[in-house]
Amino acid sequence: MRRVRLAILGASPCHLCTAACCKQNAHEYAALLRGDGEVRRFAAFAVDVPIRTDDGRLIIEKVLPYLNGRCQFLGADDRCTIYADRPQACRAFQCVEDFNRDGIASHGPFLKRNAGVLRMLQAM
């Protein structure tokens, strides 16, 4: 008999992860910066990127770029070196939100690109 998990309750199991969200996997940049304070705090590390809005307008956003396919703040041990001061985009991300996002066994784009993370969630 196959066990089906409809949802995962609680926070993402980051302590089990391999920092897949901090490595380049079909994303153009590591994190979108929000708010003046965040933009100022990371100004020395950020770049401008043109982004098209839903209504077709082109705007310029500040982002943290990947360096060699990794977030520039990801340590050699795959742990965030600025965890206590990380951007809001990083704080908000939860891999579990992609689990069964579009129906049973129909996962969101992050889990489709990261089979290892999907297997980890399925084993929970």
Distance CA 103, CA 21 (A): 22
Q: Which positions of the chain have pLDDT values less than 70?
A: 1-12, 14-15, 26, 95, 98
pLDDT at 1: 46
Q: Give pTM, 2 decimals.
A: 0.70
pLDDT at 81: 94
> In this structure, is the dihedral angle defined by the CA atoms of residues 32, 54, 103 and 9, taken in order, positive or negative?
positive
- Order of strands across the sheet that contains 58-64: 31-32, 58-64, 47-52
- Predicted confidence (pLDDT) per residue in 90-112, tens digit: 887 776 776 777 777 777 777 77
